[in-house]
Structure 1
Amino acid sequence: MKRFFSLFSGLTVACATLAAPAVSATDDFAQCKTRLAAKAVSQGVAKEVVDNAFSTITYVNRVIELDRSQPEFVTTFPSYYSKRVTNWRVSKGRQLMQKHWPMLTRLQQKYGIPPHYLVAFWGLETNFGGYKGTMPVLSSLATLACDERRSTYFTGELMTALKLAEREYLNPANMVGSWAGAMGHTQFMPSAYYKYAVDGDGDGQANLWDSEADALTSAANFLNNLGWNQGTRWGREVVLPEGFDYRESGYGNRRSVIDWKALGITQADGSALPDSTLSAYVVVPAGHEGPAFLAYQNFRVIMRWNNSEFYAIAVGELANQIAGSDGLVASLPDLPAYTRNDIMALQQKLNDEGYDVGKPDGIMGPATRSGIREFQLKHNMIADGFPAMDVMKKAGVKLAAGNN
């Protein structure tokens, strides 16, 4: 599953606990491969499966380049959202939901995941199977396993991928996906594939590349195991009252829907929120000039699939529109395309003025948002924690060319 850098999304990659080798100047890829092959056999993978797989595994320099690369520009919510929740994707999603309706309703009965959500995940992950990746998964994982940066994690994923090839009778040559090893219609990493994949079409194999039934059934099983709350939505777009204290936003400020209602928050069309005791928190992904959302428990479940608030909103809104809604009520603001250096410069300015936001890294995490809020309060700005242009100017940040 993909990961995104964003203005409002600090991302992590889980680490396995397996010991793992790493390539150094005196320890080349061929030697690393030999040790990895021996490790796979020691973990119970049949030697003939290991020999067949490793005969095709090669070092992929492009994988290391992609692992080391960081985006030059920081993705804004309007840019992210508008590229993912599109009219085409909504229309295609509705067609596919109708096509697969009998199966999707069976999955809802068994796993509790509504059809429009499963189709939305499918659309976000691979454009409904239109692009599942082209990189050789085993070679990609071996390359990363033999690199010291995240060797332990990717060694574990490689071992699991080999066990998958054996269990599901997969041809290593057909195991293609993302540069980091995500696979199939739903872009499962090997560990998720091994644990949650389900044979949905009854052919005796859980094949997430070639079987839409397997992929959708596996997605439903995965979401169910992540804790999907049946009978509730992901969240909703809302309107915040005049003078809303944006320090009350974020996961750490959860209240019941009825409590948010009492504070003056309404639905996006101005109607009253329901009298619900469901726990929710306010998400403002583009600052006070953009849309606002109340996020429920299932929002956090979506983030367990991909730890990004932008992704969770996109999945939720795409699902809404596939199910027939008209989309966002609030308009998306035209935000500057800051570079990572711009954000690092702001972080340094905040540190210099006594707002401890940590080492400047160009990523908008909680500490940076808190620092911006305090800076905004001091300068009588709306304290939404968002690095708007007026914040940059007031802080004296010299922006990259084109953002001045």
Structure 2
Amino acid sequence: MRKGLISALVAASVFTSGPLFAKEGFDQYVESLKEEARQAGIDDDILARAFAGIEYHERAVSADRNQPERRLTLDEYIPRAVPDWKVDQAKALYKKHYAALKKVGEEYQVQPRFIVALWGVESNFGKLQGNYNVIEALATLAYDGRRETFFRQQTMAALTILQEGHIAPENMKGSWAGAMGQSQFMPTSFLHYAVDGNQDGKKDIWQTEADVFASAANYLKQAGWDDTYTWGRQVKLPKHIDRNKLGVESNKALSLNQWQALGVTRLNGQALPNVDIQAWLIQPDDELGRAYLVYNNYQSLLKWNRSHYFALAVSHLADRIKFG
């Protein structure tokens, strides 16, 4: 009898925590989002259109909770992230848009090849922007609760973008995490860095390449980019380097002369450049993996995405655009 009662309770628990329960709870949560947005000045018309027909999106939650556990080494990752076909496309698009890129590069003091490289790594030059309803994805992830504060903030920022008229609610598409457009900006990043590159009154990072280029360049500039220098270089380490010196923390920067005195050389064994610049030593995989000396521009890329793999993919693609 007791066993049967327990089984019944378990069954009831499974039922009430399933899709129906999630849907009912989500609907109530959406009402709280709407009320917060109204208090922030978002029009009822925008709210009605933005939330029309949205549902709890289980796929967004699954994607957030189930990130890949196995990480490729850089030797495996870089050829996949920067294949020859992508390099060829990057060079062709760099040439096609050179006039616009040159203008943006001069205005924001960012080398155009890095703008193109970011464009390629983030969205395959606009081809892979994501097809999730951004409001639906963000509201779902906020409701899920694992990172509620962050995703609730992103939801409010996305509604602000709609209120400002940069895109219609029905067209605001992005990744499962709410990253939007060809530059894959999160909504808060959009509000801080997006630029109306073609001066048409809208900041359109979904369809307007002039806005995509200017927004990417503005982000890097605001993140401390200096077009006097590049990002860094792959290097060769001595057998017994002090591994406490590795890392991108501010107190671990040394001059190239200091790194050379510690036995660090170019990848081919030659001396490092005789340039007065601070650099950080990184080895993202392990003591047998690739090693790099990176400069402040690399730190700017990490502000865009706090991933060495991302920053190195962008950096390698930018070098391939320049050097072949």
TM-score when normalising by structure 1: 0.71
Partner of 1:84: 81
Deviation at 1:257, TM superposition (A): 0.9
Cα contact 1:278–1:296 (8 A) shared by 2: yes
Deviation at 1:132, TM superposition (A): 0.6
Cα contact 1:165–1:171 (8 A) shared by 2: yes
Partner of 2:149: 152
Q: Counterparts of 2:147 and 2:303 in 1: how far apart (Å)?
A: 20
Residues 1:189 and 2:171 aligned together: no
Residues 1:223 and 2:220 aligned together: yes
CA 1:275–1:322 in 2, change beyond 3 Å: closer, same or farther?
A: same
Partner of 2:66: 69
Q: Counterparts of 1:171 and 1:216 in 2: how far apart (Å)?
A: 21
Structure 1: which 5+ runs fail to align?
1-23, 326-404
What SS class does the counterpart of residue 231 from structure 1 fall into? coil
Deviation at 1:306, TM superposition (A): 0.7
Higher-helix-fraction structure: 2
CA 1:316–1:169 in 2, change beyond 3 Å: closer, same or farther?
A: closer
Residues 1:47 and 2:44 aligned together: yes
Q: Counterparts of 1:141 and 1:231 in 2: how far apart (Å)?
A: 39
Letter in 1 for 2:125: F
CA 1:56–1:25 in 2, change beyond 3 Å: closer, same or farther?
A: closer
Q: Counterparts of 1:145 and 1:202 in 2: how far apart (Å)?
A: 34
CA 1:247–1:169 in 2, change beyond 3 Å: closer, same or farther?
A: closer
Deviation at 1:195, TM superposition (A): 1.6
Structure 2: which 5+ runs fail to align?
1-20
Partner of 1:267: 266
Partner of 1:234: 231
Deviation at 1:309, TM superposition (A): 1.2
1:113-170, Cα deviation, whole Å (9 max, x unpaired) = 1011011111110111111101111100111122221111111111110110121342
1:21-60, Cα deviation, whole Å (9 max, x unpaired) = xxx9797111111111111111011121112212232221
Q: How does 1:372-391 map to 2 (within 5 A)?
A: none
Q: How does 1:1-400 map to 2 (within 5 A)?
A: 28-252=25-249, 253-325=252-324
What SS class does the counterpart of residue 146 from structure 1 fall into? helix
Cα contact 1:57–1:142 (8 A) shared by 2: no
Letter in 1 for 2:279: A
What SS class does the counterpart of residue 67 from structure 2 fall into? coil
Partner of 2:18: none
Find runs of 4+ consecutive structure 1 residues off by over 6 angstroms: 24-27
1:316-341, Cα deviation, whole Å (9 max, x unpaired) = 1110011124xxxxxxxxxxxxxxxx
Q: Counterparts of 1:262 and 1:313 in 2: how far apart (Å)?
A: 25
Letter in 1 for 2:263: G
CA 1:231–1:307 in 2, change beyond 3 Å: closer, same or farther?
A: same
Q: Counterparts of 2:23 and 2:304 in 1: how far apart (Å)?
A: 38
Q: Counterparts of 1:229 and 1:213 in 2: how far apart (Å)?
A: 21
Letter in 2 for 1:302: L
Number of matched residues? 302
What SS class does the counterpart of residue 281 from structure 2 fall into? strand
What SS class does the counterpart of residue 238 from structure 1 fall into? strand
CA RMSD of aligned residues (A): 1.9
Q: Counterparts of 2:217 and 2:166 in 1: how far apart (Å)?
A: 23
CA 1:26–1:224 in 2, change beyond 3 Å: closer, same or farther?
A: closer
Q: Counterparts of 1:223 and 1:200 in 2: how far apart (Å)?
A: 15
TM-score when normalising by structure 2: 0.88
Cα contact 1:78–1:286 (8 A) shared by 2: no
Q: Counterparts of 2:147 and 2:75 in 1: how far apart (Å)?
A: 32
| Identity level (%) | 39
What SS class does the counterpart of residue 207 from structure 2 fall into? coil
Letter in 2 for 1:284: Q
Letter in 2 for 1:294: L
Deviation at 1:88, TM superposition (A): 0.9
